[in-house]
Amino acid sequence: MNPRRDEPAPLALLARRLRDARRVVAITGAGVSAESGLRTFRGATVADLPADMQALWKEFDPASLATPEAFDANPAMVTKWYDWRRLGCLAAEPNPGHAALAELEHQLHARGGTLTLLTQNVDRLHQRAGSTNVVELHGSIIDWRCTRTGRRVTPDAAPMPAFPPPSPFDPAGLLRPDVVWFGEALPEDALTRAGEAAVECDVFLSLGTSAVVYPAAAFSRLASSHGAFTGEINLEATPISNSVDVSIRARTGDALPRVVELAFGEG
């Protein structure tokens, strides 16, 4: 498809780079799921929360609950908060941004290329949209694990029966979400795959992430230092906006379908 006369040049530039690329890596953050109704971590408001969660959001910011220390201090409160979020993720639907990334993977694959999708999101919406090559950097809220044995379980789509939930695997254990909290190591396999993909790619995209949480925030510069063309789509400027080759201020649910259409659409 030819760019429209009024097509913003950065979108057309990004589309051209994607069309010419063989290996593409995208890293996604909470902004990509915002259009599915899931709140982001930074800059969130409390207006539409259920009454029993209002106090939690007023008293704590999400990042301060995402720590082992918070869980140790008050496992009932932290697991209740995570269970509420788990049910929200299960009820949410993938949006056009998720769908465009699944389509991008399909188009690249059909041409002998690859898309490696590094996600900081724990909601599994990429997989539900059809993406198959997804690296979960911060784990998943859909699965929970035993604090004593590490064994994983996928709880039903109903509220947990008790908070904190007892482990079904060990009478002395609790269940916690299988996510990565501040101060915890990212899964080794995910970190290795992400690093290798960033070093080897032709194009690296940062999508809907504030790019402040490490090590995830380092991959764009790593890719750039190995010769990749780098792009960003975000509603706001981020710490990497000035170092990427093209930075686009837009909703990912609007810009990604357009970029994929420009790159691979007929016409």
The interface region with ligand BJW, picked from 124-132, 148-156, 175-183, 240-248 by CB under 6 A, is 175-183
* Residue 236 within binding range of ligand BJW, rule CB under 6 A: yes
- What pairs with residue 179 in β-bridges? 139
Question: What whole-number distance in Å separates Cα of residue 40 and Cα of residue 29?
Answer: 8
- SS3 call for 212: coil
- SS3 call for 87: helix
Question: What whole-number distance in Å separates Cα of residue 264 and Cα of residue 267?
Answer: 9
Question: What whole-number distance in Å separates Cα of residue 166 and Cα of residue 70?
Answer: 18
* Residue 238 within binding range of ligand BJW, rule CB under 6 A: yes
State the nearest-atom distance from the C-beta of 147 to ligand BJW, in Å: 16
Tell which positions 36-65 bind ligand BJW, by CB under 6 A: 40-42, 63
x-or-dash pattern for ligand BJW, window 94-133, by CB under 6 A?
Answer: --------------------------x-x-----------
Q: Which of 98, 109, 126, 138 is catalytic?
A: 138
Question: What whole-number distance in Å separates Cα of residue 114 and Cα of residue 104?
Answer: 9
Give the one residue of 87, 90, 235, 246 binding ligand BJW; rule: CB under 6 A.
Answer: 235
| Known catalytic membership, residue 226 | no
State the nearest-atom distance from the C-beta of 160 to ligand BJW, in Å: 16
Q: What are phi and psi of 165, to 5 degrees?
A: -70, 130
Q: Which is nearer to ligand BJW, 161 or 183 (CB)?
A: 183
Q: Using alpha carbons only, how large is the chain's radius of gyration in Å?
A: 19
- SS3 call for 176: strand
171 exposure class (CB count in 10 Å sphere: 0-12, 13-18, 19+)? exposed
The interface region with ligand BJW, picked from 107-115, 142-150, 178-186, 195-203 by CB under 6 A, is 178-186
Residue 14 DSSP class: H
Q: Which is nearer to ligand BJW, 94 or 113 (CB)?
A: 94
How many C-beta neighbours within 10 Å does residue 87 have?
16
State the nearest-atom distance from the C-beta of 242 to ligand BJW, in Å: 15
Question: What whole-number distance in Å separates Cα of residue 257 and Cα of residue 233?
Answer: 12
The interface region with ligand BJW, picked from 51-59, 68-76, 100-108, 176-184 by CB under 6 A, is 176-184
Q: Which is nearer to ligand BJW, 213 or 223 (CB)?
A: 213
Q: Which is nearer to ligand BJW, 120 or 247 (CB)?
A: 120
219 exposure class (CB count in 10 Å sphere: 0-12, 13-18, 19+)? buried
Four-residue CA torsion sign, 61, 97, 131, 86: positive
State the nearest-atom distance from the C-beta of 173 to ligand BJW, in Å: 20
Give the one residue of 12, 38, 213, 256 binding ligand BJW; rule: CB under 6 A.
Answer: 213
Catalytic positions: 138
Which positions touch ligand BJW (CB under 6 A)?
A: 29-31, 34-35, 40-42, 63, 66, 120, 122, 138, 141, 179-185, 208-210, 212-215, 233-236, 238, 251-253
